[in-house]
Structure 1
């Protein structure tokens, strides 16, 4: 029987900031969303102050000043690199690994005689090598491992690790009877509400529910969840994440944009980033979508949402071709007289690169362009995104999102490396 463990970083974004700011140990931290709009991450100390997730920052700014809360803009470059380091360490401890999210990873722990000691050593190793505190949940299925991780996180006496096998069935049932059904992986708010109307409000009640009756009311997914709660493994690890079928790059502007040239610079940037992600998974896209919209929350402004899709002659991952199509789309939907808040590019109908029915009279792909794209990717990977880019992106990004409180990119940018005195 396979034993699954879910390891996740505690308050991951906040913990990443603490790694390079040990003076913040034990102090409240919040991390803000794009354009410093709302709270997306909170340390345990910030939660104790009553700061809620996704609350607009301006509503808690005074509270943060009063309690000396450390406030950071999202530093996705730093968080992504710290995630990579954490997942690399975890790969050494598991027989198999599935990177589930930026701060979560499933690993299998088959044949480990002392799981209590082993999981404690996993936590210690990640903390020593990366600096990120973690919790580990262990179960005979992925759903039970995810639920065990929640137990490890909310019960301090667990010391960051918990396995269902450490409790008798009686105490397992007691614990599950005190846990809301909404804590179960895959049970969202809507499903939880419908379950409550059926008298199912706890994890234990869901575990004991009739699978066939649940399947008639919901879907095979919830039926499978019941099986997983009862120790029947239905979900295996995904060693390789499936290729994305749609790639989106979009951002809100720090300030409202009214002119075409600034929008064009933004769309060019997003088309380029989406193309780079497309090549990373060795795919090609057939359709390029372009979107621009005003701020729906400014009711005093004229409102407009422009959207169009531009087909490519052949599936492509070429930044130049995709950007050219995106520019054509922007010209088709742009309207003067509006103040735009957000723009983005979407790549659709994605498939493996190089597998396409060729047109007898179409020109063959230019190997020089393929080499150029590979060079762009290599330079930007080594020296940072945007080091080598199309001129249509512009020399400056006046439209870029606000990040007034961003910490340095300690691990990836030569100009921002930590200086040791």
Structure 2
């Protein structure tokens, strides 16, 4: 598909049909799936350590609850309003996300999982009405998972994103599904939608565009694409052309491997013992190693970091990190944990209350796609088999079933999750039960 200035000054209207499926208030919707008693109850979901609001259902939004509001500031107000608060249950959200994507994938020829609650589908060539197909996807996902979704359809991915936004915004007239392939309908929608709602246009870019008189998505679509490229970037130029119906961004069915992998969490409470901080470092390293193996990469360099609380109440503050060069590219949890703990010993200082540790895997190499140094050692076949076996057991019997001996099942440094729901789909002892 040719793309205006990006492809040799030739502009052609796209004959592609893209569809964006976006879960409605995903975290809050997940909490409702196994709690039908919450159907008409406002719900908010809290960030790590129950710090602040990161998700709200539509009822909570109508009550004026803002994203990012610290929980301790509104705890009493939430109770007064009858709002149900939940700690983040990432195991539940991740599992339901996988089920949503699998249900969509069963209906479409090509799918790009864009985030935990969004996916682009290619409807090009599917017989019948794309809007009817969108409604079928919406009904199928809800029937299979209990998660409500909105569907936006257009000739470009950027317009499909806007169509999805408009479908939710004008739900009474759209029913949660909107097709913007018709030029007149597309232009009317662009004239109503703020430029800040355009995919990739953040707060700072919105401010700069407003200074140019670009306030609506329509204004951006009408602006000279070459000028946008000179003033901003080729990425925003592509956005302009996509708003005009010229496809410049295709589906990415396979996500590219990450160039760095970071695992980090705030502790549930300050930690003053080396043993507790070391256990957190080992745990985060093991998790990062799982992610590394999942994308078939090996790590050559890693960084371990620790810090005290850097804001809030006055206290002694300290932050440090260590870069560690590994003897060979590896995904072996045992090797990574060994080096991470070695680095921790060099940066750890007694007498501080630590609030966070972090593991960063860098200089990642794809298996089979890099040249080995003739004199450099390499990971053994036995280590490969061991890691593969460990991952298989953990996938079958549950996360953390096999883990380094240093890591305990219920660590004292774990995040606060006092309001967390059950892991209805990932733990045998917390399966959903129905009583007659």
From the superposition, tell whether residues 266 and 44 of structure 1 become closer, same or farther in structure 2 (CA, over 3 Å). Answer: same
Number of the residue aligned with 1:135: 150
Q: Give the structure 2 partner of residue 411 of structure 1.
A: 425
Unaligned runs of 5+ in 1: none
Q: Distance between the aligned counterparts of 1:364 and 1:187, measured in 2?
A: 45
Match of 2:413 in 1: 399
**Residue 174 of structure 2 is aligned to residue 158 of structure 1:** yes
The answer for unaligned runs of 5 or more in structure 2 is: 1-14
With over 3 angstroms needed to count, the CA separation of the structure-2 counterparts of 1:226 and 1:386, relative to structure 1, is: same
Query: TM-score scaled to structure 1, two decimals?
Result: 0.97
* 1:143 aligned counterpart, secondary structure: helix
Following TM superposition, by how much is the alpha carbon of 1:71 offset from its aligned partner in structure 2, in angstroms? 1.1
Detail structure 1 runs of 4+ shifted over 3 Å in the superposition.
354-365
What are the residue-to-residue correspondences of 1:8-23 with 2, within 5 Å?
A: 8-23=22-37
- 1:337 is aligned, of 312, 333, 351, to 351
Look up the match of 1:289: 303
Change beyond 3 A, Cα 1:364–1:35: closer
Give the Cα–Cα distance (whole angstroms) in 2 for the partners of residues 357 and 183 of structure 1: 45
Cα separation, 2, equivalents of 1:243 and 1:355: 12
Partner secondary structure for residue 20 of structure 2: strand
- CA apart distance, 1:354: 4.7
Offset, 1:172: 3.4
Tell me if 1:3 matches 2:17: yes
- Answer whether contact 2:288 2:359 (CA < 8 A) is retained: yes
- Change in Cα spacing, 1:305 to 1:364, as seen in structure 2 (3 Å) is closer
1:26 aligned residue: 40
Q: Assess if the C-alpha contact under 8 Å between 2:166 and 2:189 holds in 1.
A: no
How far the C-alpha of 1:399 sits from its partner, in A, is 0.4
Q: Is the 8 A contact 1:315 1:356 kept in 2?
A: no
Change (3 A) 1:107 1:321: same
Counterpart contact for 2:327–2:377, Cα < 8 Å:
no
Distance in 2 separating the partners of 1:244 and 1:13: 25
Higher alpha-carbon deviation: 304-313 or 291-300: 291-300
Deviations 1:55-113 (Å, cap 9, x if unpaired)?
Answer: 11112211211122111111111111101011011112222110000010100111343
Q: How does 1:309-388 map to 2 (within 5 A)?
A: 309-360=323-374, 363=377, 365-388=379-402
Call closer, same or farther: CA 1:81–1:374 in 2, change over 3 Å: same
The alignment yields a C-alpha RMSD, in angstroms, of 1.4
For residue 372 of structure 1, report the CA deviation from its aligned partner. Answer: 1.3
Query: What displacement does 1:358 show?
Result: 3.9
Q: Does 1:123 align with 2:138?
A: yes
Map residues 75-94 of structure 1 onto 2, 5 A cutoff. 75-94=89-108
Mapping 1:71-110, distance limit 5 Å: 71-110=85-124
Shift of residue 415, structure 1, vs aligned partner: 0.8
CA contact (8 A) 1:270 1:345 kept: yes
**Closer, same or farther in 2 for the Cα pair 1:201/1:291, shift >3 Å?**
same
Q: How big is the shift at 1:213?
A: 1.0
CA contact (8 A) 2:424 2:430 kept: yes
For residues 199-245 of structure 1, what are the alpha-carbon distances to aligned partners after superposition, in whole Å with 9 as ceiling and x for unaligned? 11110100000111111110100101001000110000001010011
Q: How do 1:198-213 residues align onto structure 2 when only pairs under 5 Å count?
A: 198-213=212-227
Deviation of the 1:298 alpha carbon = 2.9
How far residue 307 of structure 1 moved from its aligned partner, in angstroms, is 1.3
CA distance, structure 2, for counterparts of residue 253 and residue 222 of structure 1: 39
Match of 2:3 in 1: none
Question: Is the 2:281–2:357 Cα contact (8 Å) retained in structure 1?
Answer: yes
CA distance in 2, matches of 1:189, 1:418: 42
Report the Cα offset of residue 376 of structure 1. Answer: 1.2
Aligned partners of 2:76, 2:315: CA distance in 1, in Å?
29
Task: Indicate if the aligned counterparts of 1:4 and 1:142 stay in contact, CA closer than 8 A.
Answer: yes
What residue number does 2:10 align with?
none
In the other structure, the counterpart of 2:69 is 55
- Comparing 376-385 and 98-107, the one that deviates more: 376-385
- Aligned-residue offset at 1:391: 1.4
Determine the structure 2 residue equivalent to 1:268.
282
Task: Give the conservation status (yes or no) of the 8 Å contact 1:264–1:393.
Answer: no
Partners of 2:374 and 2:62 lie apart in 1 by 67
User: In 2 relative to 1, CA 172–256 (structure 1 residues): closer, same or farther, beyond 3 Å?
Assistant: same
CA-CA distance at 1:394 after TM superposition? 3.7
In 2, Cα distance between equivalents of 1:131 and 1:142: 26
- What SS is found at the alignment partner of 1:243? coil
Cα distance, 1:266–1:42 mapped onto 2, change above 3 Å: same
Q: TM-score, normalised by structure 2?
A: 0.93
Following superposition, the deviation at residue 37 of structure 1 comes to 0.7
Q: Flag the 1:300–1:246 CA change in 2: closer, same or farther, 3 A.
A: same
Q: 1:172 aligns with which of 165, 182, 186?
A: 186
